[in-house]
Amino acid sequence: MKSRWLQLRPRQQSLILAAVVVVLLLAAAQLSEAKLSRSYYASTCPNVEALVRGVVTQKLQETFNAAPGTLRLFFHDCFVRGCDASVLISGPGDEHSAGADTTLSPDALDLITRAKAAVEARCANTVSCADILAIATRDVVSQAGGPLYPVELGRLDGKVGTKAVVKHSLPGPGNNLDQLNKLFATNGLTQTDMIALSGGHTIGVTHCDKFVRRLYPFKGAKPQYSPPMNLAFLRQMRGTCPLNYSPTTVAMLDAATPLKFDNGYYQTLQQQKGLLSSDQVLFADRRSRSTVNYFAANQTAFFDAFVAAMAKLGRIGVKTGSDGEIRRVCTKVN
Ligand code: HEM
Ligand SMILES: *[C@@H]1O[C@H](CO)[C@@H](O)[C@H](O)[C@H]1NC(C)=O
């Protein structure tokens, strides 16, 4: 062995050494990224996916709101401190007490509490709340008519959940394309991922305050950029959200098919009936319009892109080792 190595020319030796270094670097990169896998609980809790699915089916029979609510909960969990169920922690100064997280769905939180209880009853101290949220999200999407995809598992629950980083971690309804791209890029997501994930707005609702600025030219207020809105739709929305709107009034994010996870959201944008400026801008800006048109025309292409982007979303900031734990109750660190 040794003599063969010495028989090689220096050039061949350095090539082999370079190859070995590359392999080692790749292995190190794999290690530094937490390893998620589809079969993570195969031996420790083989029924976990069926247990969660049962709770999701039951909850959605009670209220459809849990579907959009859970999908949004997962997105907000992953963008704030990574997918570590930090969003579920409840107490003074928790994530819910800041910014966009103040309107997270109580039905979604209830769904996760119930799913965790069902899983704990069969596999105590085994499955993380972060993974239960990921499974439940997959199930609400498919049960609402969206794609059914394999979900990666193996996240630990975080030990910190405070409002400190919430505001700058989440996008806002007034964001333009550059702002959206920038925030998603810091999470390793491309513009196409961002457009596909925004398709989550094919289900669910928004409160009047998130888009009312687009309906009325406020006197004295700074003119704010707002992409064009269909005029008949604008008049209709003034009916839904009058100037003295109630803070509890909501409107559907996808006016066409609000209860179905489909590509109707993108068709809504083509008709300039997107409620949030951050949604309509995806069609208004020429740099993203072709992707909106593509997803509006081809639901399979949207579903494929959504599934790929959800996998990337689910890998953000995954906790391992002493950074995490299997929380006993999802609303409290152990
Ligand atoms: C691209 C940047 C995004 C912005 C600016 C944004 C903003 C918003 C806003 C303002 C609402 C309404 C909140 C309320 O009034 O209570 C909302 C709702 C929602 N968002 Fe997003 N969002 C974005 C991306 C996403 C992503 C990536 C997902 C999931 C993949 C998502 C899923 C949802 C869902 C399902 C709802 C409805 C929630 C419900 O009905 O309970 N959003 N979003
Ligand atoms: C729609 O998109 C899928 C997935 O990308 C692709 O295989 C299919 O050919 C597309 N269909 C049309 C009609 O373009």
Provide mean pLDDT across the span 3-22: 72
- pLDDT value of position 27: 59
Location of each CATH 1.10.420.10 domain in the chain: 177-313
CATH 1.10.520.10 domain extents, the chain? 48-169+314-323
pLDDT category at 223 given cuts 50, 70, 90 is low
Q: Closest ligand to 294 CA?
A: 2
Average pLDDT value for residue range 302-307:
98
Residue 217 annotated in ligand binding: no
Ligand 1 atom with minimal separation from the 175 CA: 5
User: If pLDDT is split at 50, 70 and 90, which confidence band does 9 have?
Assistant: confident
Which residue(s) pair with 153 in the sheet? Answer: 37
Average pLDDT over residues 201-222: 88
| 148/241 Cα distance (integer angstroms) | 35
- Residue 1's pLDDT band (cuts 50, 70, 90): very low
Region 79-95: what's the mean pLDDT? 97
The answer to which of 29-38, 236-245, 309-318 has the lowest mean pLDDT is 29-38
- Atom of ligand 2 lying closest to residue 298 CA: 1
Burial class (CB in 10 A: 0-12, 13-18, 19+), 102: exposed
In the reported structure, the alpha carbon of residue 201 is separated from the centroid of ligand 2 by a whole-number distance in angstroms of 22
Helix %, strand %, coil % for the chain, to 5? Answer: 55, 5, 40
Ligand 2 center from residue 293 Cα (angstroms): 13
Of all ligands present, the nearest one to the C-alpha of 201 is 1
**Where residue 61 falls among pLDDT bands split at 50, 70, 90?**
very high
Query: Average pLDDT for residues 68-75, to the nearest whole number?
Result: 98
pLDDT of residue 219: 60
DSSP of 61-84, one letter per residue? HH-TTHHHHHHHHHHHHHHTTSSS
pLDDT of 105 strictly over 60: yes
Strands 157-158 and 324-325 come out as antiparallel
> Can you tell me the mean pLDDT for 103-120?
98
Q: Determine the number of helices (DSSP H) and then strands (DSSP E) in the chain.
A: 14, 4
Sequence-distant (≥ 6) Cβ neighbours of residue 194 within 8 angstroms = 180, 181, 184, 309
pLDDT averaged over every residue in the chain: 93
- The residue that leads in pLDDT, 222 or 145, is 145
Whether this model's pTM surpasses 0.85 = yes
Residue in 134, 40, 36, 32 with CA at minimum distance from that of residue 87 = 134
Return the amino acid letter for 285. D
Burial 59-94 (b: 16+ CB within 10 A, else e): bbeeebbbbbbbbbbbbbbbbbbbbbbbbbbeeeeb
Residue 207 designated active-site = no
Q: Residues of the chain with pLDDT > 90: what percent?
A: 86
Regarding the beta carbon of 285 and ligand 2, being less than 6 Å apart is answered no
pLDDT value for 95: 95
Asked whether the predicted pLDDT for residue 259 surpasses 50, the reply is yes
- What's the CATH architecture for 177-313? Orthogonal Bundle (1.10)
pLDDT digits (tens, 9 = 90+) for 263-289: 999 999 999 999 999 999 999 999 999
State yes or no: 154 annotated in a binding site.
Answer: no
Pocket of ligand 1 (CB under 6 A): 68-69, 71-72, 75, 103, 105, 171-173, 175, 180, 194, 197-198, 200-201, 203-207, 210, 276, 278
Residue nearest to atom 33 of ligand 1 (CA): 72
The burial of 110, by beta-carbon neighbours within 10 Å (0-12 exposed, 13-18 middle, 19 or more buried), is given as middle
In the predicted structure, residue 296 carries a pLDDT above the cut 50 = yes
Q: Does residue 166 carry a pLDDT above 50?
A: yes
298 lines ligand 2 (CB under 6 A): yes
What's the CATH fold of domain 48-169+314-323? Peroxidase; domain 1 (1.10.520)
Mean pLDDT value of segment 132-142 = 98
Percent of the chain past pLDDT 70, that is, above it, reads 92
Distance CA 114, CA 63 (A): 14
Distance of CA 329 to the CA centre of its chain: 22
168 a known binding residue? no
Ligand number, closest to the Cα atom of 68: 1
pLDDT of residue 145: 98
The verdict on whether residue 95 carries a ligand-binding annotation is yes
What confidence tier does 201 reach under pLDDT thresholds 50, 70, 90? very high
> What pLDDT does residue 28 have?
55
Q: Residues 66, 112: contact at Cβ < 8 Å?
A: no
Q: What is the DSSP letter of 324?
A: E
Cα–Cα distance measured from residue 132 to residue 73, given in angstroms and rounded to the nearest whole number? 12
Contacts of 191 (CB under 8 A, 6+ apart): 177, 181, 184, 287, 288, 291
Buried b (16+ CB within 10 A) or exposed e, 18-47: eeeeeeeeeeeeeeeebebeeebbeeebee
Residue 171, both tokens: 């996008």
